[in-house]
Structure 1
Amino acid sequence: MLGQQLHPVIGRDTERALLERLVTDVAAGRGGSLLIEGEPGIGKSTLLAHALAKADAAGCEVLTGQCDELGRRLPLSVMTRLLEVEAGSADPRRAEAALSLEQPQEAPGWTMRLLAGDPVVAATEQLLVLVDRLCASGPLVLAVEDLQWADDASLLMWRRLCRASVQLPLLVVGTCRPAPGRPELEALRRDLRSRGGQSVSLDQLPEAQVAELAGALARGVPGPMLTERLRSAAGNPLYVRELLDALARVGALDSADGRVELTATGRDVRELNALTDVIADRLASLSADAQEALRAASLLGPEFSVTDLAAAVGSGAGSLLRVVEEALGAGVLESAGSRLRFRHGLLKEVLYEAMPTPLRTAFLRRAAQELMASGAPVERVAELILPVLGTAEDWEWEWLAGNAERLVVRAPVVAAELLEHALRQARADDPRLPLLTAQLAALYFRMGPLDRAEELARTVLRQAADYELIGRVRWLLSTIGMRTGRYGEVVENWRAATADPRLGPVWRARLLALVALARHLLGQIGRARPAMAEALEEGRKLGDPTAVGYALLAASVIRSRHGDQAGALAVNGQALAEIGNDPELVDLRLILLGHRVIELDGVDRLQEAEEALVQARTLAERVGATRLSMTLVQSAERYYEHGRWDDALAVLDEVTDLPPLWRLSRQGLLALIGARRGQWREAAGHLDAPGGRKVPSGGPVAAAYLLMARSLVAEHASRLPEAVAVLAELLTDTYAHDVGNHPEWLPALVRLALAADDRQTASAAALAARQEADRQPKPRALAAADWCSGLLDQDPARLRVAIDYHRTADRSPDLGNALEDLAAVQAESGDLDAARASFDEALAVWAELGADWDVRRAAARLRPLGLRSGSRGAHPRPSSGWEALTATERHVAGLVAQGLSNPDIAARLLLSRRTVETHVSHILTKLQVRSRREVGAVAGSGSGTPDQRGSSTATAATADTSRPRSSSGGGTHRPGSGTPPRAAERE
């Protein structure tokens, strides 16, 4: 757009002023977003081109792109072109982004790969990181035309860019035609309205402005007859321009004395009643060779090279030079750097639509074959095949057989459509059928739906004879069973597989390793151990890292379950080393890292746990939405336990796609934080969400958070017996796994049961805590056992032991509750001074957390014992200003003030980029500023001073994760640190 000739902008004063204001704002560091809508030719491009020229002159980096109807099913195609992401880019940021988007090289031949995750989601994350880094260098303007044809992934990314523009020096502008049938565009409009974005709709120009435009183009005032003729343009600027050009081409205009009028011949020129008519008239003036070349060009996307055009036409590039020069001279094509494009999308559309269907099909088939032969990108070839699927012949399937794996990575939705069509068309005896089916099953395993993947996998079992393919399909079925929690089916699949002579020894060992995990999760430890040992032995004998890795995973979790945390961590590390970076084992690597986080956290090696979680999150961002969301939920769980509740809410807000058990954990965490903060309506909403009443256990997350939240809701409603009954489910076998990871939940049950005068349940909970500590003598379990017995026996010494642990281990939510229990025991014994000190410390902890319900409940509990909270209750944080920021937000604001991009802040603080993005949005709102520069100004003023120490404080805290804290500790710690700051540093 910057390179094209700028046509005059007539009228549109309001719209021009809006765009100029947005350009001025972004040049000053304040982002924004705008959607320009209107019919074809109404002036969207012209208005945008003028704004982009001003942005370029103001020193902004300006990037432009255009969507194309044929590319609508190719994910992110417009975005990669827009951001100029190329492996050979001279810009290291773009070259790095291109490298991160590259998928592992395909194995020789055509195989069924089980790469985890959605590559489109992973690519979106990498492109958003690139935008962040570009904005860190200066103001950036991104403009994309014809969003009505954008693929779904690009539209989703566009929406996220609009959201990000609130906090970045980023102006996001899009144009589109009215497209009432696309809900994604309506979602974009809603986003704009709700997040401060702008939208304008361009109307027809009034008659006076049509005359002004015609005068500027024809260099003279239109006469009466020309004015009458121009009424057929209906106020459409492009129509006016094309109509004048058409009349000029046939000599139908006469200019004299500053006036332009129709000639006598012009009065008889045929009517051109529609914009498409005048465009067709322009095209008709070209030679037959040029028209044929342009028809082929209309199939090649918004931009194309002369080489692409030569391949589509089937002639040499040299012979096309004349017709390309003719098209450029006639204003049909224009240069786009080293490539070409149509001057206006309507020129391309008219050529495409005017072709009879048989001719269009022939052009598409020939272009596809030529591009196949030239080694063009698979997505470009697929783009040409899709419109002619109904007439596909064997050559398409031969190409698909050789390129399905690559296409699955580049354009999974397109690959699914082509493969589904191939399955419908293939003969039952076609030898390629099992492989086609297996490829599609692997694709659906990656992107869903899983039930379709399972159906196709079972079909392959009936079709295939190849032992390798049989093994992969059996593996897929077992993996689906593990992912969906159907562990019994994993065992049944293994039994059926071992009875099948087509199964090779490698796949037998791998499936047996999964059986060991499934039996462990089914509670069949006695049968899990020998299965694990056999799988490990066979895997080592065969030299197979997959079997060895999964067997070692099973060995690690079995050791952990039996209290051998040191052994579990050692085996876990061994497994990570054994599997390396095999792309097909990325799912296993994420599982191992997730378990490693749990084990490290369980033995209070907090910094190492945080670093392992960062590794998992970084890897998950490249895998896709589901695994990334699972990792975010695990992050939120840690943040909750260590008192970083605002961080927990921030990452839970990023979650988009989760398996059922993980969804329950997310709901439970949201409900629990809401309940403890006294936000009962929000808590109830999460408890009533679909599936909220069904709370299974098992796996690396704790769905039992729902039990904790439901018990609090019942307690708040003074239904104490119900609160006890709900939480007593923790004592059942169903929750043995969760309680093993979270023994600190049992003291809450003891407290509730004693309050309800249910000593039997209280004693049972205390006994369970002691048995867990005997089975797994971790500090966390030992502290829980002391806490429970201290409550049950009214022993302040044991409670102090638990308190010292939670203070040192940075578990402020449990520290506050243990302090409350100590205050109650001390008050019961008559030691009111000690009780008051304990209660005051608990109130200080809760004030940091914003735990309003804990304060109210404790006050009601301790008031009859002679203790009152007085002025030390949990005062609400201000809603605006520097004091409104959480500890994490203050630290982030300090780094924003230093000019760091969101990805750099994320790396510094061991957070995800999207979590930082959420924090920055909150910072802008609370500080009531509009740009990162303004955040820097506030942080640099007197109120921002503490954050200038943030990095050094975090570093010091990280360097010493074992130092005991003062008795007034327990506040929210600075992100990236192993322990919270000392009391004197908190505020």
Structure 2
Amino acid sequence: MLIRQMVGVTGREAERAVLEGLVADVAAGRGGSLLVEGEPGIGKSALLAAPLAAAGAAGCEVLFGQCDELGQRLPLSAMTRLLGVPPRSSDPRHAQAAPPRRRPPDRAGRDPHPGGADPMVAATEQLLARVDRLCASGPVVLALEDLQWADEATLLMWRSLCRSAAQRPLLAIGTCRPVPRRPALTRLRRELRPRGGRVLSLDGLSEASVSELVGVLAGGTPGPRLAARLGSAAGNPLYVRELLGALVRGGSLDRAAGTVELPADGRDTGELQALTDVVADRLAALSAGAQRVLRTASLLGPEFSVADLTAAAGGADLLAAVEEALSAGVLESAGSRLRFRHTVLKEVLHETIPSALRAGLRRHAVRELVAAGAPVERVAELILPAVREGADGWEWEWLADNAARLVHRAPVIAVELLEHALRRADADCPRRHVLADRLAALYFRTGRADRAGELARSILLATSDRELVGRARWLLTSIALRAGRYQDVEANWHAALGDPRLAPPWRAGLLALLATARGFQGRLVAGRAAMSVALAEGVRLDNATTVGYALNAAALIRSREGDQGGALVLADRALARIGDDRELVDLRLMLLGHRAVALDSLGRPGEAEESLAHARALAERTGPVLLSMSLVRIAERYYEHGRWDDAQTVLDEVTDLPQGRWQLARHGLRALIDARRDRQQEAAGHPQAPDTEVAPPTWPVAASYRIVARSLALERTGRPREALQVLAALLAPAYEYDTRRHPEWLVGLVRLALAVDDRHTARTAALESRRHAHIEPLPATRAAAQWCRALLHHDPARLLAAIDHHRTVGRLPDLANALEDLAVLRAASGDRDAARVAFGEALALYAELGAVWDARRAAARMRPWGVRAGIRGPRSRPASGRDALTVTEQRVAELVVQGLSNPDIAAMLLLSRRTVETHVSHILGKLGVRSRREVAAVTAGTAGTAGTAGTAATGGTAGTEVTGGTGGTGVESPGRAPVTVRGARSAPAPSARPGSRPSPSQNRS
């Protein structure tokens, strides 16, 4: 080991200095990332040896792992080994990080429903949380070698670790070869430097360094002939060492007077020019039994367990062969496993096996591993090379029997194997349809809806299996429902009605999905009829899935009818009926969404936030599609409550939305925030934004966001009549659900109509708002109806109830708009003092929100009454420093100072770990520091200083003065007493519950 370390630092002084600096940084609490790349044998591993040892001596927890070629299709295998996560662990830091168990499949070997939770996504999130908690205990160094062989999930996780390494005491060191060139590795290289990471490319050693290396290995300076021979190694330390070893074994070196030289008479192994020849020379010295065992081991990958080798090698004298290979330096220990000392050793052994014999040996190894009870993913590792080499079909039977488990344990490798099997299988083979079913469910779960639908349709055309037919029709309907193609849901149902192959449980379940689609379309009577039949059939069959989906449709319909209390009861009933069934995660997320909407409408915002936090935690274990849909729901709520910075942060996390209404909702939310913040270029639209003109109004709220944003954009450019024409589309019956969810939009329509003297449209919108309050007599709809009447009849007293409501529930954008309208009405009635107070608080709230356009509109409306914003009007939040932190970032910073990990902060604030990670990154950037420790020094005694009355939910530093014709101040500057509008009840103190909106006093240290 000492010689290896010396070899690793010879000629690498500059690279060693970089590593030593990074180790010193992480020991001091400053994280970083490093990628070391170079050809095999160039010295990557040896270079790391001394710095990693030094890191351990400095008190860092050092974890080392290695990827291998066969394991690159096995998700997270390298990361699980690196982090030392056993299947069951009592260590609280990683008790949740082992890959989750899943319920056993049914007797036919198939899961009950396609598209359940993704255990690999859950495992990734849990492993990342484990790293966070390790870092909370002290500095951590993670070293992962041979990233060129890493599976996609591992590379994504490694990139995430490198991106966030700077915000915790974590040093992430990866090594890789220049080839194969993988896109994920290219992205990693490209991302490192802009984020403060380093990339070291190791080239061959110089002649002087080679000479120094020979002195270490052979005890002398190389002579001219030896130097020429070693020149064929191109400065590669491994090649130099192996060539020297071969020359020593052949007795071809002479030593004299401190010089090592080849003999002048040519007594050397002249034919040993290529490294493969050198390696073959070394292996030839092993016994025949050891070579046989090693050839079998080469089929298992560069690293393997003793149990795997025992099963694959059969009755060979394993102990003696392994001991001989260890003594010869061909194998070495890797914890409880064995691995080849150099990858090239494995490659040479593998190539010495004739291809025909190689297939037979691999088949034997697979059978032995299966007989020994090896995990399906380990067996699949051996089958995949056989598939690529054109196996004769012996893998087919195993794959058909194990497809369900393989899909959940190793989805990437499952896709390749299943696609291969489908290409080879005969059209009339019954097992072909089972595999197509598993592959379709996998594609649906991972967002490949087009391919999933294609496979489902092929199943319907080719099989009479009632279970497979039911699953295929369910999948096609689920795809259409998720995309908002409700007409396709109806078409699938009518096709199912005429299909005699469809079993009663599937028919009832499809009817429940049809009821849901009709509910989204606003066809409530037809939806209720379908739901009632489906629910009765589900109860009769005692089928939890059918009952759950029927109750979900019932909750949706009840919500659209205006009975939010009834919707909440039905959603809770459905959640209790389906329990924690992982195969029904999609349904559970929909029910949690209904629950959050109902709770918010009923004036229980804290419980609504908890429901969405639960949904987010569940979605993080399902994959990017359902997670992205959940993030859009969360962003919607953040927008409504004025947490616009948080909404944008969450929307930035969205990666993979289905085509249709979800993408429209995302872009609509962005456009709304950009418009209200007067970001003209951003608000104009995003390159990938869907076309509003073709958006069906039956997509809940999604189309409405774009309508409101477009109306704002037109109003901002001085075209209020065109803005009114666009916004008036919300009066159509198709948008009734949307305007009940957002009753403030009808208020905005009344305001805009009155501004252009269109009293007919204003009265129509006010009557619609009043009708909504009658149908759905909730605080929000009643407040909106009073608000509309106040504008229509110039009655400021009617506005006080709306102000009181929005202050109580914390909907700051609506509160600010109501205060603006109150100020205008007070001024028009001659009460200038009251107008100044209301106007001042409205401007303060707009400043907190960053609502520049709203503030400009308010100032323009007040100008005719002689009330104007002072010279300290709404100011933008600074880009850097303590005052640049939003309130959420302030709270996160406070918890960072307390030493909490990102997962623990997320749990306290009802956020996701990834959202907290984003906030910490913003905090470090705004404060200009490199570590969590330095955050404490910068924020000591300053947390929460940027709040003012009614502004604690959104952060900001703006101060506001309001002056009028008689002079005077209408609102206090930051740090003074809260402003209260005369005639309105005082708002209750914000809750101290984790995740609730902090008050200014709570923000102060």
Query: What band does the TM-score fall into relative to the shorter chain?
Result: over 0.9
- 1:576 match: 575
The alignment yields a C-alpha RMSD, in angstroms, of: 2.5
Counterparts of 1:88 and 1:299, CA distance in 2: 29
Which residue is 2:621 aligned to?
622
**Alignment pair present for 1:209 and 2:196:** no
Per mean C-alpha deviation after superposition, the further-off stretch among 86-95 and 8-17 is: 86-95
* Contact in 1 for aligned 2:890/2:944 (Cα 8 Å): no
8 Å contact kept, 1:521–1:698:
yes
Amino acid at match of 1:313: A
Amino acid at match of 1:333: L
Q: Report the Cα distance in structure 2 between the residues aligned to 1:351 and 1:684, rounded to whole angstroms.
A: 62
Moved more, 113-122 or 381-390: 113-122
Select which of 378, 381, 390 maps to 1:380: 378
Q: 8 Å contact 2:551–2:571 — kept in the other structure? A: yes
Deviations 1:125-144 (A, max 9, x none): 12111111111111111111
Please say if 1:767 is aligned against 2:762: no
**Structure 2 residue 345 is the aligned partner of structure 1 residue 347:** yes
Alignment-derived partner of residue 962 in structure 1: none
Give the direction of change, closer, same or farther, for the CA distance of 1:983–1:24 in structure 2 (3 Å limit).
closer
CA contact (8 A) 1:140 1:170 kept: yes
**CA 1:129/1:977 → structure 2, altered by over 3 Å: closer, same or farther?**
closer
Tell me which residue corresponds to 1:865: 865
| Structure 2 counterpart of 1:160, one-letter code | S
1:447 aligns with 446
Is 1:653 matched with 2:652? yes
> After superposition, what is the alpha-carbon deviation per residue over 1:862-906, rounded to whole angstroms, capped at 9, x for unaligned?
212211110452222232222221111111111111111100010
Deviates more, 1:965-974 or 1:70-79: 965-974
CA distance in 2, matches of 1:703, 1:252: 81
Q: Write the distance in 2 (CA, Å) between the matches of 1:591 and 1:518.
A: 13
1:3 is displaced (CA, Å) by 13
1:354 to partner: Cα distance: 4.2
How many residue pairs are counted as aligned between the two chains? 969
- Give the aligned partner of residue 321 of structure 1: 319
Aligned to 2:663: 663
Shift of 1:686: 2.8
- Work out whether residues 109 and 402 of structure 1, in 8 Å CA contact, stay in contact via their aligned partners in 2: no
Instruction: Give the deviation of 1:516 after TM superposition.
Output: 1.3
**Pairwise CA distance, 1:699:** 5.5
- Structure 1 residues 975 and 257: alpha-carbon distance in aligned structure 2, compared to 1, 3 A threshold: farther
Deviations 1:8-53 (A, max 9, x none): 5112221111110000001111100011111221111111222211
Query: What's the CA shift for 1:974?
Result: 8.8
| TM-score normalized by the length of structure 1 | 0.94
Note if contact 1:42-1:202 (Cα within 8 Å) is conserved in structure 2: yes
Q: Distance in 2 between matches of 1:3 and 1:947?
A: 59
Alpha-carbon spacing, 1:945–1:802, altered in 2? closer, same or farther (3 Å): closer
The whole-number CA distance in structure 2 between the counterparts of 1:978 and 1:872 is 32
CA distance in 1, matches of 2:995, 2:304: 54
Aligned counterpart, 2:309: 309
Note the 1:278-289 alignment, pairs <5 A.
278-289=278-289
Q: Which residue of 2 aligns with 1:493?
A: 492
CA drift of 1:596 comes to: 0.3
Cα deviations by residue, 1:114-157 (Å, 9 ceiling, x for unpaired): 24344333322121111111111111111111112212221111
State the partner residue of 1:169. Answer: 169
Contact 1:677 1:850 in 2 (8 A): yes
| 3-state DSSP of counterpart to 2:456 | helix
Does 2:94 align with 1:81? Answer: no
How far the C-alpha of 1:815 sits from its partner, in A, is 0.8
Distance of aligned partners of 1:268 and 1:981 in 2 relative to their CA distance in 1, 3 Å threshold: closer
Rounded to whole Å, the distance in 1 between the matches of 2:453 and 2:334 is 47
Q: Report what 2:935 is aligned to.
A: 935
Secondary structure at the counterpart of residue 684 of structure 2? helix
Instruction: Tell me if structure 2 keeps the 8 A contact 1:312–1:366.
Output: yes
Matches within 5 A, 1:140-151: 140-151=140-151
Q: Which amino acid aligns with 1:69?
A: E
Between the aligned partners of 1:492 and 1:224, the Cα distance in structure 2 is: 83
The answer (yes or no) to whether the contact 2:663–2:689 under 8 Å persists in 1 is: no
Listed one character per residue, the Cα deviations across residues 642-663 of structure 1 (whole Å, up to 9, x for unaligned) are 1111211221111111123112
Cα separation, 1, equivalents of 2:448 and 2:148: 27
Query: In structure 2, the residue corresponding to 1:171 is in which secondary structure?
Result: strand
- 1:672, 1:706 within 8 Å by CA — same for their partners in 2? yes
The answer (yes or no) to whether the contact 2:66–2:146 under 8 Å persists in 1 is yes
User: Would the aligned equivalents of 2:437 and 2:455 in 1 still touch at CA under 8 Å?
Assistant: yes
SS at match of 2:102: coil
CA contact (8 A) 1:697 1:738 kept: no
Task: Output the CA distance in 1 between the equivalents of 2:564 and 2:441.
Answer: 36
Residue 160 of structure 1 pairs with residue 173 of structure 2? no
Q: CA deviation at 1:694?
A: 4.3
Paired AA for residue 567 in structure 1: G
Alignment-derived partner of residue 802 in structure 2: 802
TM-score (norm 2): 0.92
Q: What are structure 2's unaligned runs of at least 5 residues?
A: 954-977
Change (3 A) 1:405 1:973: farther
Distance 1:974 1:362 in 2: 69
Mapped to 2, the partners of 1:425 and 1:945 lie a distance apart of 65
Partner of residue 366, structure 1: 364
After TM superposition, the structure 1 = structure 2 runs for residues 181-220 of structure 1, keeping only pairs within 5 Å, are 181-220=181-220
- Residue of structure 1 equivalent to 2:611: 612
More divergent stretch after superposition (419-428 vs 640-649): 419-428
SS in 2 for 1:64: strand
Matched residue, 2:245: 245
- Please name the residue that 2:966 is paired with: none
Q: Which residue of 2 aligns with 1:957?
A: none
Structure 1 residue 527: Cα displacement: 1.4
Contact 2:446 2:625 in 1 (8 A): no
Q: Contact 1:593/1:613 (CA < 8 Å) preserved in 2?
A: yes
The residue that corresponds to 1:919 in the other structure is: 919
Return the letter of the residue paired with 1:412.
P
Could you report, residue by residue, the CA deviation over 1:597-629 in whole angstroms, capped at 9, with x for unpaired residues? 001011111111111111111111111111111
SS in 1 for 2:62: strand
Q: CA deviation at 1:404?
A: 0.7
CA gap 1:684/1:661 in 2 versus in 1, 3 angstroms? same
Query: Following TM superposition, by how much is the alpha carbon of 1:391 offset from its aligned partner in structure 2, in angstroms?
Result: 4.2
In the TM superposition, residue 443 of structure 1 has moved relative to its aligned partner by 1.7
Structure 1 residues 264 and 979, CA gap change in structure 2 (3 angstroms) = closer
Q: What SS class does the counterpart of residue 338 from structure 2 fall into? A: strand
Residue number in structure 2 paired with 1:961 = none
Q: Quick check: 167-176 or 849-858, which moved more? A: 849-858
The residue number in structure 2 matching 1:332 is 330
Query: For the structure 1 residues 39 and 503, does the alpha-carbon distance in structure 2 shift closer, same or farther, using more than 3 Å as the test?
Result: same
For 2:18 and 2:989, locate their aligned partners in 1 and report how far apart those are by CA, in whole Å. Answer: 43
Q: CA deviation at 1:776?
A: 1.0
Contact 1:162–1:192 (Cα < 8 Å) also in 2:
yes
**Unaligned residue ranges in structure 1 (runs of 5+):** 955-964
Match of 1:594 in 2: 593
Kept in 1: contact 2:671–2:684 (CA 8 A): yes
In 2, Cα distance between the equivalents of 1:805 and 1:711?
Answer: 26
The residue type paired with residue 967 of structure 1 is T
Query: For the residues of structure 2 that align with 1:61 and 1:276, how far apart are their CA atoms?
Result: 38
d(CA) in 2 for partners of 1:293 and 1:265? 39
Is the CA contact 1:597–1:613 (under 8 Å) kept in the aligned structure 2? yes
% same residue:
63
**2:127 aligned with 1:114, yes or no?**
no
Alpha-carbon distance change, 947 to 59 in structure 1, aligned in 2, over 3 angstroms? farther
Inter-partner Cα distance in structure 2 for 1:598 and 1:564: 12
Distance 2:838 2:266 in 1: 97
Partner of 2:483: 484
Task: Evaluate the alpha carbon distance shift between residue 791 and residue 353 of structure 1 in structure 2; reply closer, same or farther with a 3 A threshold.
Answer: farther
Aligned match of 1:585: 584
Task: Classify 1:549/1:16 alpha carbon distance in 2 versus 1 (closer, same or farther; 3 Å).
Answer: same
Displacement of 1:854 after TM fit?
1.5
- Which position in structure 2 is the counterpart of 1:828? 828
Q: Establish whether residue 676 from structure 1 lines up as the match of residue 676 from structure 2.
A: yes
Q: Which amino acid aligns with 1:504?
A: A
Q: Which residue of 2 aligns with 1:551?
A: 550
Confirm or deny: 8 A CA contact 1:750 1:766 kept in the other structure: yes
Code of the aligned partner of 1:373: A
Decide whether aligned partners of structure 1 residues 482 and 945 sit closer, same or farther in structure 2, where only a CA change above 3 A counts. Answer: closer
Indicate conservation of the 8 Å contact 1:606/1:978, yes or no. no
CA distance in 1, matches of 2:444, 2:672: 33
Q: Is the 8 A contact 1:295 1:352 kept in 2?
A: yes
How far off its partner does 1:481 sit? 1.8
